[in-house]
Homo-oligomer: A and B are copies of this chain.
């Protein structure tokens, strides 16, 4: 979930200087239109890890916008007045009215997060509190509010660096408190709970946007543009029928740095290395499936990737290590008539394996947020809510001790072209290349954005994505096998799915 926010996003001074005037003008215009039309209120939450620049971001927003129509609420300790009322009262009393913008720094998420990390409340109570928050936000959206939620993220190293830097400078030393260092020591726990929190409260109407906090220019520009985009979209919309859910747009990354592009596709293995590793990991996989505790597990593997990225080949290397009675390979193509008469996820539910079995999906439930999104087979609302449905689906499997392993096989455009041409030449491979493949290729960039969104929104602690550099088939197949072994091994070590 935080992968894309640890890439080292940066905006240069030149780009910044070029972009800012237009952004500021746009924001002021949008604000004026909002105020004059009084169509809806805007509620902006700025949350995230300590020292990721929440305060500075809000300061800048205030600088950019007309202060008469923005109110900032940095709610910290409860006042006497607030202590005597229900928890949410402090937020109700400062909600922005239609036509205005309310920016919240200390949000309704801080309490549950900190209390769960410190063990004051257990997971079940955390979920209860998050559920109340979700109901509150749903009510706000139902009432027409535009709710924008930003999570500023820093990697562990980055947070440490930031804390030290602030401490060194006498002008900022006061900003680093003991609490900050205490939190830092709990970084991993914070990360894990934050992820659970973001996952359960990211809805189609009010999704979270995770923003890397390291580079201030990147942070400001991303948030500023996201706010402008969402406001503009709502302001310009023809009045939607009542109850049509207004779905804010997902903003493409502003510095064109996508996680897929950070993969080193030159990674490779020699044939001899491949052969020895293959033997090693196939043997290991086979052994693992005969572990006495393996009968308490089941394994679901999802393969996604560019066309011709080698999904089939990787799958074959897995099943070579398995007993034929133990696995099923499920190729996912256009849905059958029977499947079209059911909810989207039905055809994946029906293929959930029994204990000690494998279900290997050649393409998967992610089709909804990939091909269906890009080709427009379903509308924006459908694929936006699919992220939540997918996370629910995977969570239910994991709770039932299913090991969910997801691979994205990535090849370069050049490599794909080479493989397409090769396939056309070789008789027995010709069936593998169709007009559709060529058409998909034309939409390479759109697919790339969709894949990165998918990874950001569905790579979770319990069911992470593994990105596989697949220009070299040897390297890819070994990485797949090795990852699969590691995930099963880890699951066997756990006594229960807890």
Contacts and interface: CB of A to CB of B under 8 A. Distances in A.
Contacts of A382: 142, 242
A87 B400 contact: yes
A25 interface: no
10 contacts: A84-B400, A86-B402, A87-B400, A89-B352, A97-B341, A128-B128, A136-B392, A139-B385, A243-B243, A243-B244
A338 B97 contact: yes
Contacts of A127: 124, 127-128, 131
Contacts of A145: 343
A324 to B, nearest CB: 19
Given A38-B341, A379-B242, A392-B135, A349 B92 contact: yes
A84 B354 contact: yes
Interface residues of A, number: 60
A179 to B, nearest CB: 27
Interface string A344-382: 111001101011000000000000000000000001011
A139 B86 contact: no
B352 A86 contact: yes
Copies in the complex: 2
A482 B400 CA distance: 53
B396 A143 contact: no
Interface in A46-94: 81, 84-89, 92-93
The 3 closest A-B pairs by CB, nearest first: A97-B341, A124-B124, A92-B349
Interface string A478-493: 0000000000000000
A399 interface: yes
A367 B363 CA distance: 51
A99 B87 CA distance: 46
Interface string A401-423: 01000000000000000000000
Given A127-B131, A298-B84, A381 B97 contact: no
Contacts of A221: none
Contacts of A143: 343-344
Contacts of A140: 343
Given A127-B127, A241-B244, A346-B95, A85 B341 contact: no
Given A127-B127, A352-B86, A392 B95 contact: no
Given A143-B343, A143-B344, A86 B396 contact: yes
Given A86-B396, A87-B400, A350 B385 contact: no
Contacts of A338: 97
Given A97-B342, A241-B241, A346-B95, A354 B385 contact: no
A101 interface: no
A122 interface: yes
A85 B128 contact: no
B122 A242 contact: no
A125 interface: yes
A277 to B, nearest CB: 33
A158 interface: no
A85 B352 contact: yes
Contacts of A95: 342-343, 346
